[in-house]
């Protein structure tokens, strides 16, 4: 039994039209692709369609993928583009929600180390503040903190310069601080 193919080998095969190899790449990245699309559209059906279309477009665009480059941010850029186009088409904002279990956990139970920073109510307030940001700021916050992409990956995924990502993040954090202060009043 041979060794599993590396990502670079799968890409090379896919470039030659090997759809099985491309299927392996889709499988590897479908989770992050769907989450990216969901964060940008806020709608499961739109996210699924955007991610699907992005993977199909990416297959045909593989000829332009530079050997040695990182595949994940390249794919996420196509996914993000599809997702934002669908968001625009639908004409609605992407409002995110917390899991039900997280939203109700508060009160008497001792907080776990992971939840010690914010209680459930403050989490809901902060997410509401994120939902209220301008889309361009909200998108960089979602990519940087919710998907935990690096600044470079965020820039690649959103088609921005790193400097633009930094400045938008800075503005977004400032706006979030202002809104959270207002929520405290």
Partner 1 sequence: MSELELALTQIARELDYPETPDLTGAVRRRLAEGRRPRSWRRPLVLLLAALAVAVGAVLAVPQARSAVLDWLGIGAVTIRQVEGLPEVELATGDLGVGERVSLAEARERVRFPVRVPTLPGYEDPNVYYAEPLPTGQVSFVYGSLDKPQLLITQVSALGALEKLVNTATRIERVSTDDASGVWIEGERHFLFYPGAEREEPFRLVGNTLVLERNDGVTVRIEADISKEQALRIAESMR
**Residues lying near partner 1 in the complex (CB under 8 A):** 19, 22-23, 26-27, 30-31, 33-35, 38, 44, 47-48, 51-52, 55-57, 59-61, 64, 78, 80-81, 84-86, 88-89, 91, 96-100, 102, 114-115, 117-118, 122-123, 126-127, 130, 141, 145-148, 155, 158-161, 164, 173, 176-177, 180
Question: What is the DSSP secondary-structure string of 141-172?
Answer: HIIIIIS---HHHHHHHHT--HHHHHHHHHHH
What sign does the dihedral 138-142-145-150 (CA atoms) show?
negative
What sign does the dihedral 119-125-128-133 (CA atoms) show?
negative
- Least distance to partner 1, CB of residue 26, Å: 5
How is residue 5 annotated by DSSP? P
- Least distance to partner 1, CB of residue 2, Å: 21
| Cα–Cα distance for residue pair 155/43, rounded to 1 Å | 23
- Select 12 or 126, whichever has its Cβ closest to partner 1: 126
- Least distance to partner 1, CB of residue 51, Å: 6
């Amino acid at each position: 039994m041979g060794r599993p193919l590396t990502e670079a080998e799968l890409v090379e095969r896919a470039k030659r039209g090997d759809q099985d190899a491309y299927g392996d790449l889709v499988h590897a990245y479908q989770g992050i692709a769907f989450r990216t699309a969901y964060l940008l559209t806020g709608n499961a059906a739109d996210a699924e369609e955007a991610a699907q279309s992005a993977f199909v477009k990416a297959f045909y665009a593989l000829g332009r993928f530079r050997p040695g480059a990182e595949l994940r941010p390249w794919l996420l850029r196509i996914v993000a583009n599809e997702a934002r186009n669908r968001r625009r088409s639908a004409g609605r904002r992407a409002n995110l929600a917390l899991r039900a279990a997280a939203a109700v956990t508060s009160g008497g139970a001792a907080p776990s180390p992971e939840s010690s920073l914010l209680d459930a109510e403050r989490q809901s307030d902060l997410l509401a503040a994120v939902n209220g940001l301008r889309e361009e700021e909200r998108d960089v916050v979602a990519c940087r903190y919710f998907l935990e992409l690096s600044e470079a990956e965020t820039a690649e995924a959103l088609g921005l310069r790193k400097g633009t990502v930094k400045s938008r993040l800075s503005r977004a954090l400032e706006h979030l601080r202002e809104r959270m202060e207002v929520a405290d009043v």
